[in-house]
Amino acid sequence: MRNQILFITLFLLCSTTFFSQDLLIKKDSSKLEVKLLEVNPLSLKFKLYSNLNGPDYIIDKKEVALIIYQNGIQEVINITENLNQIGEQTAVNANAPKESKKRDVKLKDYVNFNLQAGVVINNSYCNKPRKDDFPPSHTSSEWYYGYSKKNNVNINLGFNFVLGSNAYIKHIIGVNYLRSKGEFNYYYSGVARSQLNGYEWRTYSEDLRYYSTIDYINFVTGLRFTICKKFHVEPCIAFNYMANSNVKVTGYRKTIDYNTYSSGLAPLVQNNYFENESYRSDISSTVSLCPKLTYEFKIKEQKIGIYYSYNIAYEYRLPWNMIGITYYPFKKLRS
């Protein structure tokens, strides 16, 4: 009886000692007594049981044939099965709902805002008004002609919204203030005849010089086509609202009345002279085409653009060139 108790005690002590550590049996039949820290599909992380305060080690599972855990459970290593499990998990992740992969939608993906500043260049012959209806006459002539061919340079200020999520086609809406100046001459001559209470006739002539300044509010809308990453073409339509005008005229009007011949008198001559007489231009608001080219780039994370636009207006009375820069001031409204 005493011998049986001693045997059981020794067996329990040996079992406790044997199973207090994990055992790795490698494919080359060598053994490692370890304390397992992590068991991964392709690797094992452990400390040597003889040096539990020492460094961590990692071994590929493909080098291990068998694991005997400290509780006595055994695991035969099958690396092919582990690889299949990893492949299945990868396939599950790949088939996950696409919404989880989408990035957050930002305001700048749909709306961009820029400020525009530059100059308007127009010929001095611009701003000429429409020709007046001829007075009743048998013969008459009327024309405008340029006083000089020099160009005027004036200010252009504005802003634009670029709308849409498509990378190549967007909608643009803009508002501009611009000034157009003109300097031109006007000449008219005509003869008026009538047969009322006898034979009557008169001649008329005008020779006037106009100096014109007109301020416009320019509303622009159209599409923006991105030709390459930085170069854009914008075929736009503009509504040009004439906000203010200041026209001065200098010259004379002359009328010769020959009806005094019937009374035996000399013709009656009437001259009217004008010196910087002011009046409002008869040029009204109009719609025009204004194709625009823009090249955009970045300087120290600041988005800048260079633009050129040509306004093709009704009857060629209001053509102008616009050249300047655009600037995107708000980071959240630029892409």
Taking the C-alpha atoms of residue 31 and residue 318, their distance in angstroms, rounded to an integer, is 95
- Give bridge partners of residue 162 from the DSSP assignment: 112, 172
pLDDT value at residue 193: 63
Q: Does residue 311 contact residue 290 with C-beta atoms inside 8 Å?
A: yes
pLDDT value at residue 317: 61
Taking the C-alpha atoms of residue 178 and residue 155, their distance in angstroms, rounded to an integer, is 6
Q: How much of the chain, in percent, has pLDDT values that exceed 70?
A: 74
* Average pLDDT of the residues in 20-38: 86
User: Taking the mean position of all CA atoms in its chain, how far away is CA 145?
Assistant: 41
Choose among 91, 82, 9: nearest CA to 39.
82
Choose among 46, 50, 41: nearest CA to 59.
46
pLDDT tens figures, 204-213: 888 989 888 8
What are the CA-CA distances from residue 157 to residues 113, 118, 304, 323 (Å)? 14, 7, 15, 11
CA atoms within 13 A on the CB side of 89: 7
pLDDT value at residue 6: 46
The mean of the pLDDT values for the chain is 79
pLDDT tens figures, 284-333: 778 889 999 999 999 888 899 999 999 887 655 667 889 999 999 887 66
pLDDT value at residue 12: 42
pLDDT band at 85 (very low <50, low <70, confident <90, very high): low
pLDDT band at 151 (very low <50, low <70, confident <90, very high): confident
pLDDT tens figures, 96-139: 455 444 555 566 678 889 999 999 998 887 887 766 555 544 56
pLDDT value at residue 100: 44
What are the CA-CA distances from residue 154 to residues 178, 204, 238, 252, 325 (Å)? 7, 37, 19, 30, 15
User: Taking the mean position of all CA atoms in its chain, how far away is CA 26?
Assistant: 65
pLDDT value at residue 296: 93
**Does residue 247 surpass a pLDDT of 60?**
yes
pLDDT value at residue 301: 83
**Does residue 170 surpass a pLDDT of 90?**
yes
pLDDT tens figures, 2-20: 554 444 444 444 444 444 6
Choose among 206, 210, 154, 217: nearest CA to 182.
210
DSSP 27: T
* Average pLDDT of the residues in 244-255: 90
Q: Which residue has the higher pLDDT, 159 or 85?
A: 159
Taking the C-alpha atoms of residue 123 and residue 321, their distance in angstroms, rounded to an integer, is 10
Query: In this structure, what are the phi and psi dihedrals at residue 41, rounded to the nearest 5 degrees?
Result: -60, -30
**Does residue 176 surpass a pLDDT of 90?**
yes
